[in-house]
Each structure stands twice: as structure tokens, then as C-alpha cells.
């Protein structure tokens, strides 16, 4: 998570996207982003669909390595179930 500052740009307001984020999502100057406003006030920006199966698999492998393996939820429910 990163806090971004809102700045004046002509008669509008703008948010700068950090270069690291720009590289990760693969956008360039002039590209369009899809903006959505959530019910909770969250502003979500989505880059054009440039989905890569290889990049997704690499990210999931990395995230999986960071998650500790615990006991199976199903096994835990079976142990706690009372008949």
C-alpha cells in the first residue's frame, strides 16, 4: 500500500503513479485506465488487459511460498464435527 498525493492539473486534480507501479502494470503515457468507484469510497484503477499466464504463474508461485502451510480446513472441520 502506498499513499499518493493529489495535485492540481489545469482545472482537474491528478494522482501520480509511481514508476515502479507503471512498469509492473505495463502502461505508457497516453494509455487509458478503467476507473471504478466502490461503495466504500475506494477508487480502483485497472490497466488494459495484458494478462500473461507466465507472469501470473510466477506471481502465484511466489505468493504460495510466502504462505505458511497449516492443517487442512476440511480435516479440521472433520475433527471438530460432533455427530
**Domain contains 56:** yes
At 5 the pLDDT is 92
Q: Are 50 and 22 in contact (CB under 8 A)?
A: no
DSSP code at position 11: T
**Domain contains 64:** yes
At 11 the pLDDT is 94
- Alpha-carbon distance 43 to 45, whole Å? 7
At 13 the pLDDT is 94
**Domain contains 26:** yes
What CATH number did the domain enclosing 75 receive?
2.10.260.10
At 83 the pLDDT is 59
pTM: 0.48
Contacts (Cβ under 8 Å, ≥6 apart) of 45: 33, 34, 35
- Alpha-carbon distance 28 to 37, whole Å? 23
**What string of pLDDT tens digits covers the 83 residues of the chain?**
788 999 999 999 999 999 998 888 888 888 889 899 999 999 998 887 667 788 889 889 988 888 877 778 888 888 887 65
**Domain contains 21:** yes
Look at the chain and report how many structural domains it folds into. Answer: 1
**Domain contains 24:** yes
Amino acid at each position: 500500500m502506498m499513499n499518493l498525493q493529489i495535485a492540481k492539473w489545469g482545472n482537474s486534480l491528478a494522482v501520480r503513479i509511481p514508476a515502479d507501479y507503471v512498469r509492473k502494470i505495463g502502461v505508457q503515457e497516453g494509455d487509458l485506465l478503467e476507473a471504478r468507484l466502490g461503495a466504500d469510497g475506494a477508487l480502483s484503477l485497472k490497466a488494459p488487459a495484458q494478462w500473461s499466464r507466465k507472469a501470473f504463474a510466477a506471481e502465484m508461485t511466489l505468493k504460495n511460498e510466502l504462505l505458511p502451510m497449516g492443517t487442512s480446513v476440511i480435516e479440521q472441520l472433520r475433527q471438530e464435527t460432533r455427530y
